[in-house]
Structures are given as C-alpha cells and as structure tokens.
Amino acid sequence: MHAVRIAGAGSTAFSASPERTGRDLFGEAARIAIEDSGVPRADIDRLCYGNFAGTVTERQGHQGPLMAEAAGVTAPATRYESACASGGVALRSGVEAVRSGAVDVVLVGGMERMHNVTTERATEGLAMAADDLYESRAGVTFPGAYALMARAYFEEFGGTRADLAAVAVKNHRNALGNENAQFQREISTTDVLEAPTVADPLGLYDACPITDGASACVLVSEEYAENHDLNASVSVTGSGQGTDSLALQNRESLTRTPATERAAMVAYDDAGVAPADVDLLEVHDCFTIAEVLALEGLGLYDPGDAIDAATSGETTRDGDLPVNLSGGLKAKGHPVGATGVSQVVELTKLLRGDHVNSSAVPDASVAVAHNAGGTVASATVHVLEVRS
Amino acid sequence: MREPREEGYDDLLDALESDTGYYLSCPAGHGSLPPRQVCPRCGDELSEETLPATGAVVTFTEVAVPTPAFAGKTPVVLIADFGPVRLTGELLDGSDILEVGSEVVPTVASSPGGDRHVGFRLASER
Ligand SMILES: [Zn+2]
C-alpha cells in the first residue's frame, strides 16, 4: 500500500456570499491548495469533488467537469454526494486512489453554495438528506431530526440544554482569530439558551449556520513527495467509512451512531492507533448534540458520558482533548459538500504549525477528522499523523 | 394526493386511514416498512403482518422552522415504537399533553403543500 501525504491545503473564507458562484468558490480553494502544495497542475491525476445540494441551489448537475475546469485541471473528475459527508467520501476516494497505486496526485475538495436561495429553500434542500417518504414528507427537517435524537439522548442518559450550550460556546471561542471562520465572535451560555427555538430542545445557537464556501487538498503518494522534494509532513494514515439506515425510525437506537463507530474502527485499525492516542479532533458538530454523539461514536467516551465533555473543559482549547479547534461546523461554518475536506485542511494546518490555534497543540502528532451525513447514516473517519 | 401514487407507501397510508395498518416481516421477525423487496437486515423474504393498534412515543419535537410544504405551521413530529417497527409522523392533536411514552394511534395526515404522510392521534384523546 502506498502511503498518502497531504502536500497542500486551502479553503475560501466561509461566509454568506450569495453572489459568488460555486465554480468561483471551488476555483479559489483549489488555487490556494495547489499553490500551497507546489505541485504542477499537469501532475494532478484525478479530481474527487464533494457537493450536496448544487442541483437544487444552482440547478447545476454534472459538477465534476465544471470544477476541474475551475481548478485549471484536465484530469478525470467526479462529483461525490453523501449529504453532509460528501467531502469526506470524496476525500476517502482520493486516499484510496493514491494508496492503490493507481495515481500519484489527487485533488480532493468540496463546495457548497446555499445563500443564493431563501432560507425555506435551503431548509428544503438540507431536508433532502433524510428519507423523503417517511421523514421529510412528515415534516421532519434537518434540525428536527437532530432534535428527535437530542430528546432521546436526554431521556436515556440525562443532560441539559446548558450542557449542549457549552459545546456551542467552546466552538465559537475556538473560531476567534480563524480568518476563514464564518463567526469570529464569542457567545455566552445565556445567548444559546435564550436564542429562538428551531426544533425543541434545540435552539438557533445549537445549530451550525448555512454557509457558502469551498475547501481543497492535494494528496500525493509518499514516493511522489520524496521525488519532488515536497514539504508534506502530514500523512493520512487511516480512512474508514460507515453506513446506517437512512431513516431514524429504522434504527435500533436513537442515541448511538453505528456508522461513526464502524468508520472509526476501520480508520483506527488502518492507522494502527487507538482512541487514547488521539491528540485532537475535528468532529461533525452540525448541531451541539452531534458533537456529543460523535465523541461517543469515536470511542473517546462511553455512551452517555460525552454530554459534559465541554462543560468540564476536557474538550476545550486547554483541555486534554481539544475538539474543533477550528471552530467546528458551529462557528467556522458548514458549506455542506466542503466540510469533510475543510476539517482536514484545518487539521493539516494545526499539525504543521501554521494555524492560529496551533499553539494549543504544540506536541500533537495524531489527529482525527469525523464527517457525518444526514443523521449519521453516512460517516467517514480519517486519521492524520505527523511524519518526518 | 401526489400523482402518480407510490406503490407500497400509498398502500400503507390507505391501510392506516382505514385502521388496517400493516408492516413487513421476515421469517426472523425483523420488521420493516414498504416498499421493500427483501428484509433490509437479512435479505430474506417478507410477508405483511398486522400493525399493533397503538405505539409508544420514543421522541418528539415541534419544528419551528418548517420546510415550504408546511409553511405557516409548526408541525409536531414524533417517532413511535410499535414493537416490530417504529413509525415517524406528525401529531394531529394533544401536543400540550404529549410526552415520551404517550400511546399514539397511527393515521394519515396531509401537509399544507398537499402531500400525504403518516399522522398520529393520542390514544387518550380517542
Ligand atoms: Zn430479516
């Protein structure tokens, strides 16, 4: 198996930018990542690109060729769609392509543009990640589905809205100074608790924002990095993916996320690491409860135990296990199809030492990225390690 | 109703409307909902079985920011456990006394947008 290095990484600013087209956003992220890598465009063998709702928001299908052109790349290009895990599955496909020896250089990335449509239309687009017949038609929205999971969690394990608020407060604080983050401002527990309800028990500040943006990474084989004298100190050493029933009603538990559990098991095994080896994580906190479920699914906490991880300070910047130092989806923003790649962009910088929050993890060598689709019917987990 | 009908799904809604709800079961007893060719858990063949008359609420929420199909409403949605299967749907009455564990009876509801979907009434209100 060929080892995979991250030669370059970049994102656009994450924001509300309704007037920027998807091709412009992805073109920028790809340009930054390619420049960061020092790899000539002609050497790129493949584009693996994630996007969720482009057929709804931009009425644009067949985005692979469009985005290859935007990146100035003539390699074969494919769009991957797994809702909010679109970026993660695109990344995984790129990792597998390099590992197999089929290619030496892959551009992976993702993009989402949603502010060019109304909030109602965006809500409808996001709801398409759920089961159309049995969930969306019955009125279950994306926040509604996570609210169903949050109430089930409170019923089974206890916990309060204040515990969830601590996740939001932590992630907003982490986004301070992250120039790409959508919200670079602190919020208080009171702000979270007093925000308008979106779907009880979840309020507006329990939810990540709607975001326009794109991210990209250049993956290369270790041989290519050595032969071209690239500065690529971060390696993707583990990759896993898991799938669960699409509809919540078809699952045995509403408080467990077996897709994450399966993806993590494969990725840890792949990398030869255990949960205790992990120094920092970017996890899929589309809602505050989602960060709790992710930490438990990843095996870092037992079921029912991650609810007060933020409250107790364990997952804050100065805690034993910093989670979402980028600000997470919650404050950095969630350009759906880009998120899985954006997590790896942030972790790469955190590990290389050129992230605004690198000082929080000076000795870190093992990082984990967790990307989830819908109500975690899809999940990818990637292990990143610093290699000399 | 959305045209054309959707086989399996609309058949189940028709059955719920006439209090003859059913679910699908494989020989091992794994419950599922139509349309299905095989059991989603083991791939075995399926037969139609009678859906229990009431289910117990597992979780619920009131959706304050609905999709366009529910414009002007804040639908209360819930998941109810019927034993072999769980069903997701909209609560049509009694949201003020709804709690986890409440018994609900399945029926059919329509969104303001016109689509049919699974609905529930509180068993205590019947
Ligand atoms: Zn079966």
DSSP per-residue string spanning B25-69: E-TT--EE-SS-SS-TTT----EEEEPPS-EEEEEEEEBSS--GG
Over residues A33-84, the pLDDT tens digits come to: 999 999 999 999 999 999 999 999 999 999 999 999 999 999 999 999 999 9
Number of domain units in chain B: 1
Q: How far is Cα A237 from Cα A215, in angstroms, rounded to an integer?
A: 20
Q: How far is Cα A260 from Cα A290, in angstroms, rounded to an integer?
A: 11
Residue B87 placed within a domain: yes
Q: In the prediction, which pLDDT does A328 show?
A: 98
B47, two tokens: 């037969």
Could you tell me how many residues make up chain A? Answer: 388
Contacts of A371 (CB under 8 A, 6+ apart): A84, A85, A87, A88, A91, A284, A339, A340, A343, A379, A380, A381
Do residues A346 and A357 touch, judged by C-beta distance below 8 A? no
Q: Where do the domains of chain A lie?
A: 4-118+209-386
Residue B4 placed within a domain: no
What pTM does this model have? 0.98
> Which residues in chain B have Cβ-Cβ distances shorter than 8 Å to A248?
79, 88
Contact assignment for A139 to B69 by CB distance below 8 Å: yes
Residues A4, A8, A13, CA angle at the centre, nearest 5°? 130
Catalytic choice (A48, A84, A217, A286): A84
Q: In the prediction, which pLDDT does A388 show?
A: 73
Residue B3 placed within a domain: no
The answer to whether B21 contacts chain A (CB < 8 Å) is no
Closest to A81 in 3D by CA, of A93, A69, A99 = A93
Over residues A296-323, the pLDDT tens digits come to: 999 999 999 999 999 999 999 999 999 9
Helix, coil or strand: residue B22:
strand
Q: In the prediction, which pLDDT does A1 show?
A: 81
Do residues A154 and A201 touch, judged by C-beta distance below 8 A? yes
Dihedral sign computed on CA atoms, order B82, A156, A294, A276:
negative
Look up the domain containing B45 and give its range: 9-125
Q: How far is Cα A305 from Cα A334, in angstroms, rounded to an integer?
A: 26
Catalytic choice (A115, A334, A355, A370): A334
Over residues A92-124, the pLDDT tens digits come to: 999 999 999 999 999 999 999 999 999 888 888
Helix, coil or strand: residue B20:
coil
Q: In the prediction, which pLDDT does B68 show?
A: 87
Over residues B31-82, the pLDDT tens digits come to: 999 999 999 999 999 999 999 999 999 999 999 999 889 989 999 999 999 9
Q: Is A48 annotated as catalytic?
A: no
A201, two tokens: 């028990």
Q: Is A84 annotated as catalytic?
A: yes
Q: Which residues, given as ranges, of chain A have pLDDT below 70?
A: none
| Percent of chain A's residues with pLDDT above 90 | 97
| Complex ipTM | 0.97
Q: In the prediction, which pLDDT does A125 show?
A: 87
Q: Specify the residue for token string 């414009």.
A: B71
Say how many Å lie between the CA of residue A377 and the centre of ligand 1: 20
Q: In the prediction, which pLDDT does B1 show?
A: 56
> Which residues in chain A have Cβ-Cβ distances shorter than 8 Å to B95?
none
Q: What share of chain B is helix, strand, coil (3-state, %, to 5)?
A: 15, 35, 50
Q: In the prediction, which pLDDT does B2 show?
A: 66
CATH number of the domain at A4-118+209-386, please?
3.40.47.10
Helix, coil or strand: residue B85:
coil
Can you spell out the DSSP letters for A333-365? ---GGGHHHHHHHHHHHHHHT-STTGGG-TT--
Dihedral sign computed on CA atoms, order A173, A175, A177, A182:
negative
Residue B112 placed within a domain: yes
Considering only the beta carbons, identify the residue of B69, B79, B115 that sits closest to A148.
Answer: B79
Do residues A367 and A351 touch, judged by C-beta distance below 8 A? yes
> Which residues in chain A have Cβ-Cβ distances shorter than 8 Å to B117?
137-139
Residue B91 placed within a domain: yes
Could you tell me how many residues make up chain B? Answer: 126
Give the largest CA-CA distance in chain B: 45
Residue B2 placed within a domain: no
Q: In the prediction, which pLDDT does B114 show?
A: 80
